[in-house]
Structure 1
Amino acid sequence: MNPEFLQLDLPQRLAGRVALAHVTVVPMDAERRLPDHSLVLEDGLIRALGPVREINTTGMRVIDGSGKYVMPGLADMYTHYWDPADCPLYLAHGITLVRTVGTPFQLAMERVAERGEFPSPRMITISPPIDGVGPNGRTDMPRGVAMTSPEQAQPLVQRFVLGGYHQIKAFSLLQPENLRALGRASAGAGVRMTANCPNAMTFEEAIEAGASCFDQLHNIARGHLRSDAPVPERWDRFDPVPGTRLDFAAIRRLARFMAERQTWNVPTLVFHQRGGLSPAEEMADPQLKYVSPSSIKDWESTLIRWARRARLDDVDRWRAAARERAIAFLQVVSIFHEEGVPLLTGTDSLNPWNVQGASLHEELANFVAAGMSPFAALRCATAEAARFLGDSERWGTVAPGKRADLVVTRSDPLRDVRALRDIDAVFVNGYHLARADLDSLLAQRAALAAAPPRLPAVNLLQNTWVERIVGAETGRIAWRHSRLADGGWLIEEQHAAAVPRRHVERRNTRLVLDQDFKLQSCAYTVDSFAGSEMGQIRRSARGEYRITLKEVDGSESRDTVTGDSMLPSERLSSTLWPLLFAQQSPRNAIVPALDVEGGNLVVMDLRLAMKDKGCWQLSVERLTHATEQTYRLADDGRFLGMQEMMPLLWLRELVPFS
Structure 2
Amino acid sequence: MQFLKKAFITLLSLIILLIITSAIVLKVEGKNTAYLKIKNQPSLSSNSYIITNVSIVPMTSDTVLMNKSVRIENGIIKTINDTILTTNETIIDGKGKYLSPGLIDMHIHLWDKYDLGLYLANGVTTIRNLLGMPFHLNVKKEINSDKLIGPLLYTASPQFTGIEQKGSHRKKIATPEKAKQLVKTYKAKGYDYIKTYNQLPKDIFDATIEQSIISKIPIAAHPSFKVDYDYHFNSNISTIEHTEDIFQQPLNYKIDYEKLTTVVEGYAKSNQTLCPTLTVFYNLTEIYNNGEDFLTSEHSKYMNPFIQSIEKNDYNFHTSVKESNSNATKKINDQHNFHIDIIRKLHKAGVNIVCATDAGVFNTAAGFSIHQELSFYVEAGMSNYEALKTATVNPTKVYNNYKMFGTIEEGKMANIILSNENPLQDLNTLKNPEWVMIKGRMINKSLMKEFKENAYKRSNYLPSMIRSVKYAIWK
| Counterparts of residues 215-230 of structure 1 (less than 5 Å) | 215-221=241-247, 224-225=250-251
**Pair 1:369 & 2:400 matched:** no
Relative to structure 1, is the Cα distance of residues 292 and 113 closer, same or farther in structure 2, using a 3 angstrom cutoff? closer
| Bigger shift: residues 123-132 or 17-26 | 17-26
Letter in 2 for 1:120: G
- Where structure 2 has 5 or more consecutive residues not aligned to the other structure, the ranges are 1-25
**Pair 1:32 & 2:79 matched:** no
Letter in 1 for 2:233: I
C-alpha separation in 2, matches of 1:429 and 1:265: 27
Letter in 2 for 1:61: T
Q: CA deviation at 1:389?
A: 1.7
Which residue in 2 is equivalent to 1:282? 294
Q: Secondary structure at the match of 2:359?
A: coil
Q: CA deviation at 1:435?
A: 1.4
Q: Tell me if the contact between 2:357 and 2:373 (Cα under 8 Å) persists in the aligned partners.
A: yes
Relative to structure 1, is the Cα distance of residues 317 and 354 closer, same or farther in structure 2, using a 3 angstrom cutoff? farther
C-alpha separation in 2, matches of 1:74 and 1:253: 31
Which residue in 2 is equivalent to 1:412? 422
After superposition, the C-alpha distances for 1:42-71 in whole angstroms (9 at most, x for unaligned) are: 2221121111x2x11232211111111111
Q: CA deviation at 1:300?
A: 2.5
C-alpha separation in 2, matches of 1:335 and 1:166: 31
Q: CA deviation at 1:189?
A: 2.2
Q: Tell me if the contact between 1:116 and 1:430 (Cα under 8 Å) persists in the aligned partners.
A: no
After superposition, the C-alpha distances for 1:477-507 in whole angstroms (9 at most, x for unaligned) are: xxxxxxxxxxxxxxxxxxxx3429x68x9xx
Question: Which one of 252, 260, 271 corresponds to residue 251 of structure 1?
Answer: 260
Q: CA deviation at 1:316?
A: 8.2
Question: Which one of 194, 204, 229 corresponds to residue 203 of structure 1?
Answer: 229
Letter in 1 for 2:187: V
Q: CA deviation at 1:252?
A: 2.0
Q: CA deviation at 1:342?
A: 0.8
Letter in 1 for 2:123: G
Which residue in 1 is equivalent to 2:52? 21
Q: Tell me if the contact between 1:41 and 1:404 (Cα under 8 Å) persists in the aligned partners.
A: yes
Question: Which one of 282, 303, 317 corresponds to residue 291 of structure 1?
Answer: 303
| Counterparts of residues 58-457 of structure 1 (less than 5 Å) | 58-101=87-130, 102-134=132-164, 139-208=165-234, 210-221=236-247, 224-225=250-251, 242=253, 245-277=254-286, 278-279=290-291, 281-283=293-295, 285-291=297-303, 295-304=307-316, 320-446=330-456, 449=457, 452-453=459-460
Q: Tell me if the contact between 1:410 and 1:424 (Cα under 8 Å) persists in the aligned partners.
A: yes
Relative to structure 1, is the Cα distance of residues 315 and 391 closer, same or farther in structure 2, using a 3 angstrom cutoff? farther
Which residue in 2 is equivalent to 1:536? none
Relative to structure 1, is the Cα distance of residues 433 and 223 closer, same or farther in structure 2, using a 3 angstrom cutoff? closer
C-alpha separation in 1, matches of 2:353 and 2:396: 12
Q: Secondary structure at the match of 1:345?
A: coil
Superposed CA RMSD in Å reads 2.8
C-alpha separation in 2, matches of 1:132 and 1:262: 28
Q: CA deviation at 1:320?
A: 4.8
Relative to structure 1, is the Cα distance of residues 315 and 179 closer, same or farther in structure 2, using a 3 angstrom cutoff? farther
C-alpha separation in 2, matches of 1:69 and 1:250: 43
Relative to structure 1, is the Cα distance of residues 182 and 292 closer, same or farther in structure 2, using a 3 angstrom cutoff? closer
C-alpha separation in 1, matches of 2:228 and 2:326: 28
C-alpha separation in 1, matches of 2:444 and 2:326: 43
Which residue in 2 is equivalent to 1:616? none
Letter in 2 for 1:375: Y
C-alpha separation in 1, matches of 2:296 and 2:178: 47
Relative to structure 1, is the Cα distance of residues 76 and 15 closer, same or farther in structure 2, using a 3 angstrom cutoff? same
C-alpha separation in 2, matches of 1:149 and 1:296: 34
Q: CA deviation at 1:359?
A: 0.8
C-alpha separation in 2, matches of 1:150 and 1:444: 45
Relative to structure 1, is the Cα distance of residues 193 and 18 closer, same or farther in structure 2, using a 3 angstrom cutoff? same
Q: Secondary structure at the match of 2:247?
A: coil
Letter in 1 for 2:354: L
Q: Tell me if the contact between 1:193 and 1:213 (Cα under 8 Å) persists in the aligned partners.
A: yes
Q: Tell me if the contact between 2:234 and 2:270 (Cα under 8 Å) persists in the aligned partners.
A: no
After superposition, the C-alpha distances for 1:561-614 in whole angstroms (9 at most, x for unaligned) are: xxxxxxxxxx9xxxxxxxxxxxxxxxxxxxxxxxx644xxxxxxxxxxxxxxxx
Q: CA deviation at 1:188?
A: 2.5
Q: Secondary structure at the match of 1:279?
A: helix
Q: Tell me if the contact between 1:302 and 1:352 (Cα under 8 Å) persists in the aligned partners.
A: no
Q: CA deviation at 1:140?
A: 4.0
Q: Secondary structure at the match of 1:38?
A: strand
C-alpha separation in 1, matches of 2:171 and 2:366: 26
Question: Which one of 46, 50, 62 corresponds to residue 81 of structure 2?
Answer: 50
Q: CA deviation at 1:295?
A: 4.8
After superposition, the C-alpha distances for 1:353-387 in whole angstroms (9 at most, x for unaligned) are: 21111111000001111111111111110111122
Q: Secondary structure at the match of 2:405?
A: coil
C-alpha separation in 2, matches of 1:26 and 1:423: 14
C-alpha separation in 2, matches of 1:431 and 1:315: 52
C-alpha separation in 2, matches of 1:318 and 1:148: 37
After superposition, the C-alpha distances for 1:69-127 in whole angstroms (9 at most, x for unaligned) are: 11110011000122111122111110000000211110111111112212201101111
TM-score w.r.t. the length of structure 2 is 0.85
Q: Tell me if the contact between 1:116 and 1:429 (Cα under 8 Å) persists in the aligned partners.
A: no
C-alpha separation in 1, matches of 2:244 and 2:207: 22
C-alpha separation in 2, matches of 1:103 and 1:408: 33
Q: Secondary structure at the match of 1:391?
A: helix
Relative to structure 1, is the Cα distance of residues 413 and 150 closer, same or farther in structure 2, using a 3 angstrom cutoff? same
Instruction: State the identity %.
Output: 23
Relative to structure 1, is the Cα distance of residues 193 and 315 closer, same or farther in structure 2, using a 3 angstrom cutoff? farther
Relative to structure 1, is the Cα distance of residues 436 and 314 closer, same or farther in structure 2, using a 3 angstrom cutoff? farther
Relative to structure 1, is the Cα distance of residues 168 and 222 closer, same or farther in structure 2, using a 3 angstrom cutoff? same
Q: CA deviation at 1:182?
A: 1.5
Q: Tell me if the contact between 1:68 and 1:410 (Cα under 8 Å) persists in the aligned partners.
A: yes
- Where structure 1 has 5 or more consecutive residues not aligned to the other structure, the ranges are 226-230, 232-241, 454-473, 476-496, 506-525, 527-550, 552-570, 572-595, 599-658
Q: Tell me if the contact between 1:140 and 1:172 (Cα under 8 Å) persists in the aligned partners.
A: no
C-alpha separation in 1, matches of 2:249 and 2:440: 48
Identify, as 1 or 2, the structure richer in helix.
2
Q: Tell me if the contact between 2:179 and 2:204 (Cα under 8 Å) persists in the aligned partners.
A: yes
Q: Tell me if the contact between 1:275 and 1:319 (Cα under 8 Å) persists in the aligned partners.
A: no
Relative to structure 1, is the Cα distance of residues 410 and 364 closer, same or farther in structure 2, using a 3 angstrom cutoff? same
Relative to structure 1, is the Cα distance of residues 307 and 157 closer, same or farther in structure 2, using a 3 angstrom cutoff? farther
Q: Secondary structure at the match of 1:265?
A: strand
